[in-house]
Amino acid sequence: MAKVVDELTRCMAQHSGDLSADFARTAGEARQGALARLRVLAGVKECVRHLEDQAAHAAAAHGAGYPEIGQAVNMSRQGARRRWPGLITSNTPHRTPLPRSS
């Protein structure tokens, strides 16, 4: 992840200047710059997905169910279940419902 952050920082520094500089570059340099940005973004996306997976496992380990996990990532319960199959098992602790007061 540190490698991705380093590359992202370097890329942002190179491309944070004036937009007219982009037009002054050759087509090959522009293509390489665009591809470098794409690689960095793909790496960031992969890292974020890994962090989401870790957080989903932690949430399940602390009693969250698919509806709550799905809501946290703006997806349905079914979407969360498809993304993390087997995350909620019979061994996963669930919250005990509180008794109702009459």
pLDDT digits (tens, 9 = 90+) for 24-54: 568 788 888 888 888 888 888 998 999 999 9
Q: Is the pLDDT of residue 22 over 70?
A: no
What pTM, to 2 d.p., does this model score?
Answer: 0.63
Residue 37, exposed/middle/buried by CB under 10 A (0-12, 13-18, 19+)?
middle
Average pLDDT, the chain: 80
Three-state DSSP class for residue 46: helix
